[in-house]
Structure 1
């Protein structure tokens, strides 16, 4: 996390492009300006441009084609599950082998995630970085983005919580009643690979989940990176 007055250039470029994608100034399939055009627009060198584009690609907002440029991806989490399956339910029989720890609790500005949470794009958000373990091995790296209206202390004093929906229900009486989720295969960044004990660029499964409360308001955006060689992600779906 960065001090609010010292946001790196690539992060500002990322936020600017992500904002245009979520606002649909750029539509799915649209070509982004070339790297040289982005250099002129932001008046920076090519290095932060490429860093921003790489992160946009890793976050599923764009895709790049060799020799053709960068294009807007179909990034929006879609699909409504008729039956929600909590994390504990997935591995209920082996729950005692699962634990978690929180790496960071802080605040961040992220216009992309702010829009998913339906707050002002420049609003500060609660930002958590966490790891889940199974049999002592790191299997999931998570980043949570939440509305700053929630008390930050509940995450600081409960650093080993496993399920955020259970924590918010216990501490705030908030119940998640629906989710939207996008699941995709990506390659992992160096920092996340280190946390999951993987090689840089290793394939992982990433899910972006938006959880909604009883009033239909988004409460939490969780980005999960699953170490697919150590973890099986299961979804129960009941047609109604």
Structure 2
């Protein structure tokens, strides 16, 4: 498939693929930006051009562009078009984005493996963090994510069952859990705690690291309205990852940074 280029036609996407079309459009645009075909501040092809060249619906293209804007990769001006963000976003583990998009945005090959997918009851520690009663019904999903076949993240999520009762019916290998949650209801609040610690035996095995290699773990809670709907733990090999935080000064009101011993 050719990269996006206004002077050359774009090959149609593989509609037989199990990856959602809007995600394929996102990946295609991100790869073109990473390859340098479009510089920061440069205008992307119009929606109508993308619809024609990629042979997908306007709805599909519009969703892809909306999510690229949400991820900070592009900006959109009504009646003018879509542009590559002037400050090209750093792949950030703290950003509210999906690891799939982070890996693809770096030009690497993404894959994942399902470790756990089950309905269960919340123990006391999980229940307390989610504002639930002990033994409330939740869904537990654990996945191992790869970049170019190297394990880079262990994801373990606990989800309020009433928020996403059909979660385990989704194709979580070929589609984004993050996008599925966003399709149900956009997150209204997010809290993240970052810590460095030594890996346990399971983490050493899954991430293919030694007992002396620290891991970087992010605990993320998300709210929809007053309810915590997801509690996630994301563990990364600390010798290969750094945390980058980029905040728009206009959005600093009401935000705080805390340190815990």
Q: TM-score, normalised by structure 2?
A: 0.52
- Structure 2 contact 213–239 (Cα < 8 Å) conserved: no
Q: Deviations over 1:149-176 (max 9, x none)?
A: 2455433542315643212233xx2211
- Structure 2 contact 190–223 (Cα < 8 Å) conserved: yes
Q: Deviations over 1:50-80 (max 9, x none)?
A: xxxxxxxxxxxxxxxxxxxxxxxxxxxxxxx
Question: Counterpart in 1 of 2:155?
Answer: 142
**How many aligned residue pairs are there?**
155
- Greater C-alpha Rg: 2
Does the residue aligned with 2:181 lie in a helix, a strand or coil? helix
Question: Counterpart in 2 of 1:221?
Answer: 231
Deviation at 1:139, TM superposition (A): 0.5
Do the aligned partners of residues 102 and 119 (structure 1) sit closer, same or farther apart at CA in structure 2, a change above 3 Å counting?
A: same
Q: State yes or no: 1:196 paired with 2:207.
A: yes
Do the aligned partners of residues 85 and 151 (structure 1) sit closer, same or farther apart at CA in structure 2, a change above 3 Å counting?
A: closer
Q: Deviations over 1:10-48 (max 9, x none)?
A: xxxxxxxxxxxxxxxxxxxxxxxxxxxxxxxxxxxxxxx
Question: Counterpart in 2 of 1:54?
Answer: none
Question: Counterpart in 2 of 1:178?
Answer: 189
1:51-70 matched pairs, under 5 angstroms: none
CA distance in 1: counterparts of 2:108 and 2:168, whole angstroms: 22
Does the residue aligned with 1:199 lie in a helix, a strand or coil? coil
- Which runs of 5 or more residues in structure 2 are unaligned? 1-93, 251-261
Does the residue aligned with 2:132 lie in a helix, a strand or coil? coil
1:1-240 matched pairs, under 5 angstroms: 85-87=96-98, 90-91=102-103, 93-94=105-106, 97-106=109-118, 107-151=120-164, 153-160=166-173, 163-170=176-183, 173-213=184-224, 215-240=225-250
CA distance in 2: counterparts of 1:163 and 1:94, whole angstroms: 17
- Structure 2 contact 214–239 (Cα < 8 Å) conserved: no
Does the residue aligned with 1:188 lie in a helix, a strand or coil? coil
CA distance in 1: counterparts of 2:170 and 2:102, whole angstroms: 26
CA RMSD of aligned residues (A): 2.5
Deviation at 1:91, TM superposition (A): 4.9
- Which runs of 5 or more residues in structure 1 are unaligned? 1-82
